[in-house]
Amino acid sequence: MVFWSKRRRVPVIGALVVSAACLLSACGGGSDTGATTSSAPAATGSAASEIKLISPGKLTTCTNLPYEPFQFKEGDKVVGFDVDIVDLVAKKLGVTQDIVDIDFAVIKSGAAMNAGKCDVAAAGMTITDERKQNILFSDPYFDATQALLAKKGTGAKSLEDVKAKGLKLGAQASTTGLDFAKGKGLNPTEFADSPKELLGLQSGQADVIIQDLPVVLTWLKKPEIADKFELIASLDTGEQYGIGMKKGNDALAKVVNEEIAKAKSDGTYEQIFVKWFGKKPGELGAS
């Protein structure tokens, strides 16, 4: 870990942070389950002196675990595609990334950033007009696609088939997948997070579930999942992920956007993408 010099240390007003934390607890969101420091090396840079971070020497990231391959625990470390993307920003700022696991609903509402829980949110979070009312989003860093995972033998190939056959559909709460299914006239059973959603499918609470394609493909790498369940459809919903920040934090957003653009232009983004998805951007989901 590289610590800031006294010249670059950003003062934090304790009373404001405490007050904001109280506000978050009053929101009724999920509880903080701890933080993990990313092991990516930090490099000093002048950008750090221009941006106020909630903890000196750290870029604090709110996420919701697990959401493999975007963010999940590998031993005591949190790793994943989102983690590596945010590490690029942390390195530019000359700090280390600190990851806080909290409820997704608190993240997508903007409450986590407003309460001083984190500087950024990276949680496989789709940019939507509704969320932009409360969150300052970065430029898109991932093109998302929804998918349907079903127990084998349903004969369904689409959401229309799920509806026509009277199959039980499941979705993760507070997600665009849930919203998309509702928009098609279905009323999915809601599960608190992606592991509970998968468990719902395995236990028969749902015959089919809707989830982001990379997550479904990661599940299907496990023999116990692939033996009983199958991908029946990919749904091109035109979604894109963004890194969230507190509204008005334009200085930080500028650095985030610059690092995303740089990574895409110099090949770093493709390297990270292949590392976590096994394919190049644009090839995900192709046979």
Residue with tokens 């500087």: 119
- List all residues 6 or more positions away from 115 whose beta carbon is below 8 Å from its beta carbon: 20, 21, 23, 24, 27
Burial of residue 268, with CB atoms counted within 10 A of its CB: 0-12 exposed, 13-18 middle, 19 or more buried? middle
> Do 14-141+242-277 and 145-239 fold alike per CATH?
yes
For residue 67, the model assigns a pLDDT of 95
- 145-239: CATH topology is D-Maltodextrin-Binding Protein; domain 2 (3.40.190)
> Which residues, at least 6 apart from 129, have a Cβ–Cβ distance to it below 8 Å?
none
DSSP state for residue 54 in the 8-state scheme: S
What would the pLDDT profile of 241-254 be if each residue is shown by its tens digit? 999 999 999 999 99
Beta strands in the chain (DSSP E): 35-37, 58-63, 72-74, 77-79, 96-101, 120-121, 136-137, 142-151, 169-172, 189-191, 208-212, 229-241, 244-245
Three-state DSSP class for 169?
A: strand
Residue 4 has pLDDT above 90, yes or no: no
> Which pLDDT does position 198 carry in this prediction?
98
For residues 71 and 82, the answer to whether their CB atoms sit within 8 Å is yes
Partners of 150 in the β-ladder? 208, 230
**201 near 117, Cβ under 8 Å?**
no
According to the model, what pLDDT value does residue 282 have?
A: 83
Smallest CA-to-CA distance from 154 within 139, 165, 140 is with: 165
Give me the chain's average pLDDT, please: 86
The answer, yes or no, to whether residue 52 has pLDDT greater than 70, is yes
Tell me if 148 sits within 8 A of 208, measured CB to CB: yes
Tokens encoding 45: 């840079």
pLDDT in tens, 77-123: 999 999 999 999 999 999 999 999 999 999 999 999 999 999 999 99
- 11-25 pLDDT, tens per residue? 433 443 334 343 343
Beta strand 72-74 pairing with 77-79: antiparallel
> What's the pLDDT score for residue 285?
64
Percent of the chain with pLDDT over 70: 82
Q: How far apart are CA 103 and CA 32, in angstroms?
A: 8
* From the candidate CATH numbers 3.30.360.10, 3.90.1580.10, 3.40.50.970, 3.40.190.10, the one assigned to the domain spanning 14-141+242-277: 3.40.190.10
The rounded distance, in Å, linking the Cα atoms of 46 and 107 is 29
Instruction: Say if residue 69 is preceded by a cis peptide, omega within 30 of 0.
Output: yes
Cis peptide before 66 (omega within 30 of 0): yes
Domain residue ranges in the chain: 14-141+242-277, 145-239
With b meaning 16 or more CB within 10 Å and e meaning fewer, what string describes 68-93?
A: bbbbbeeeeebbbbbbbbbbbbbbbb
**Tokens 């963010």 sit at which residue?**
71
> Do residues 91 and 42 make contact, with C-beta atoms less than 8 angstroms apart?
yes
Q: How far apart are CA 196 and CA 265, in angstroms?
A: 38
Statement: residue 1 has pLDDT above 50: no
User: pLDDT by residue (tens digit) across 213-243?
Assistant: 999 999 999 999 999 999 999 998 999 999 9
Least confident of 32-36, 74-78, 179-183: 32-36
